[in-house]
Structure 1
């Protein structure tokens, strides 16, 4: 990022934080992707809260960004296990912010398994959670009587990001295929999941002349896909067998262990999130041998059957920076607005959204700085 771009970004976040700074700053823990542009957002979080630790998503860490963020706040390693066991999760929170009012800033529902236990046992106060992803939104929505959860996953300010993430997924998938001498054209694609990301991926593949089939467990989304001109799979196994490219975009388990044997020979598999969320690789029969077949491409082979897994099953677009340009700053600003919402302490337990009025302020501010 050029120095003038960094200055403009810092000025933008300065304007946002002045608008949404809470009267009393809570403490916070921040789960985030450490992409190259992320330090400015982390500084903004530190300006609106007492940032006790940053927990970088392990598959998306840019070392220069991490080094810069380590000068701002404590960086701790992040795993799903950290917040799976209530005693371990509680011990971690107590070590970082004992007795303090706390906001948890999440990407993917990491705090969900032990959230209710933390709320009841933490020496401070869990004011609530801000969640950034559809996957995490679903995990928190399934909780029984949680503390307040402000989700930005379904915000209209996130629509540009979702569209551009879809573009980056298709770009990275094609780049890896081309590294092996293959191309998208002539290879039927199956998109599993027709939410914001899945629908974006399907449209972009179609625009490239790829024959696209969609599968989604939600009948409403299946009708939406059909209305947009896509073939909708009636039988999931047949769709898997016919596809030369499978893109998983559900945020849940798209391919179970028994599904891999249904893949056609030579099929490519890519995901938009982490392998632990989308793929049951641990259940894949041991008869499959794994060999590296080019950079970031793994060949799975057994007698009479083989397929290719891109980026180890993790979000393929992070191989090329996963950049969505300045549109990501819309969502980050909404997260800052959500911190103020939780700090007021007047929200009941359950799911909430940032107000339309606050979103309009964010969009107007963003346009002032980035509509150039």
Structure 2
């Protein structure tokens, strides 16, 4: 049920958790100097004044700092959860109580509640949608075509969402600009690789308290997220196996020192499986059948579709929780398969998601992409558009500056050489 306090509408677990959330939001903010600089400028210039923004994101301390920056810029923003298990309830409470931001998010909310919150996000009649998986955007197109005229554009945070937007564009349904924040260099090189790499293993360890050294960890997919997970698992002493469908990525994994094989060959030897593909049922019945007794499966892709849980339930005679976020399925064959985090994002279900220092750049992209959509309202072509290079490079420059790191600049002679075709060796 929606509650209203001092004109702020919300649906959260418990408003009394706000004090704890306030401290944690401030702690994360210390690690987000780029977003802080953007927030300070937004507070002075108000580039988002009067703009209605509906943000569908993981409700974490880092997202809270983005929401605060958007409000500082003058936006009329509301926030809903992008995943039923990724909400930090104390953070949601603080955003409502301390910052006057409407939040609709409860950790563990069921699918009906989630979809109702998506409708609430659209009831806000957004000019800009900040999406994480494109659920709000696709619902808008399918169910609310009368609101399309309100839309300046959307921004998308995830690989999964970009895949959906591409499909929408190919079907002629993406009739407005969508900024591909996920593909910005200052996003995927760092958030996807270093953020996902560390936080995924953090979630696995928090859920299980197992030693990773010496285990066979199968990383399913070698995109930027898979590269990060494989790199960090190797650093912790695991024997890493990679499965892939893309021959170029497969070669890259081999050259990076990993064993590469089909899932059919990896399934019998893996101790822990991590899916990071953004695709459906990459671990399924035939793989469960040959897994070791006690094999653990987890997902760090956006949606809970990468592991075929329906088939696993059909193969099982019983299931039980042995730890928080650790569910043992007893197969009819007598073996067991352990599912972590209900097959949802393990880094957010069992841990706290990406470290703030890396989300600093991702959410700086979101804030500046929102400003870009406002400044260029009516001027941008429909379809996926990249984050402008000058924004991407400025975020990197600000991050280096905050880290106290200087880099070289080209000399006049070097600039002349780069712009000339007549000078050879």
State the TM bucket, normalised to the shorter chain: 0.7 to 0.9
Deviations 1:167-187 (A, max 9, x none): 12123323444x3xx432332
Q: Given the alignment, which residue of 294, 303, 310 partners 2:340?
A: 310
The answer to whether the Cα contact below 8 Å between 1:252 and 1:278 also exists between their aligned partners in 2 is yes
Report matched runs for 1:265-304 at 5 Å: 265-273=293-301, 276-288=304-316, 289-302=318-331, 303-304=333-334
Task: Specify the SS of the correspondent of 1:279.
Answer: coil
Q: Given the alignment, which residue of 219, 229, 245 partners 1:217?
A: 245
The answer to whether the Cα contact below 8 Å between 2:62 and 2:356 also exists between their aligned partners in 1 is no
Q: Does 1:240 align with 2:271?
A: no
Task: Specify the SS of the correspondent of 2:56.
Answer: strand
The answer to whether the Cα contact below 8 Å between 1:20 and 1:337 also exists between their aligned partners in 2 is no
What TM-score does the superposition give when structure 2 sets the normalisation length? Answer: 0.76
Task: Specify the SS of the correspondent of 1:309.
Answer: strand
What does residue 195 of structure 2 align with?
164
What does residue 149 of structure 1 align with?
178
| Counterparts in 2 of 1:219 and 1:371: CA distance versus 1, 3 Å | same
The answer to whether the Cα contact below 8 Å between 1:16 and 1:362 also exists between their aligned partners in 2 is no
Task: Specify the SS of the correspondent of 2:69.
Answer: helix
Larger-gyration structure (1/2): 2
Q: Given the alignment, which residue of 5, 27, 40 partners 2:52?
A: 27
What does residue 81 of structure 2 align with?
56
Task: Specify the SS of the correspondent of 1:251.
Answer: coil
Give the C-alpha shift of residue 5 in structure 1. Answer: 7.2
Distance 1:139 1:103 in 2: 18
What TM-score does the superposition give when structure 1 sets the normalisation length? Answer: 0.86
| Counterparts in 2 of 1:94 and 1:167: CA distance versus 1, 3 Å | closer
Deviations 1:175-224 (A, max 9, x none): 444x3xx4323322211010111111111222223221111122221121
Task: Specify the SS of the correspondent of 1:322.
Answer: coil
CA RMSD of superposed structures (Å) = 3.0
Instruction: Name structure 2 gaps, 5 residues minimum.
Output: 1-22, 406-425
Distance 1:326 1:349 in 2: 32
What does residue 141 of structure 2 align with?
116
Distance 2:313 2:396 in 1: 49
Give the C-alpha shift of residue 30 in structure 1. Answer: 0.5
The answer to whether the Cα contact below 8 Å between 1:119 and 1:125 also exists between their aligned partners in 2 is no
The answer to whether the Cα contact below 8 Å between 1:93 and 1:122 also exists between their aligned partners in 2 is no
Q: Given the alignment, which residue of 381, 392, 395 partners 1:362?
A: 395
Task: Specify the SS of the correspondent of 1:317.
Answer: helix
What does residue 126 of structure 1 align with?
151
Instruction: Name structure 1 gaps, 5 residues minimum.
Output: none
Figure out how many residues of one structure are paired with residues of the other and give that number.
Answer: 362
The answer to whether the Cα contact below 8 Å between 2:215 and 2:239 also exists between their aligned partners in 1 is yes
Give the C-alpha shift of residue 300 in structure 1. Answer: 0.8
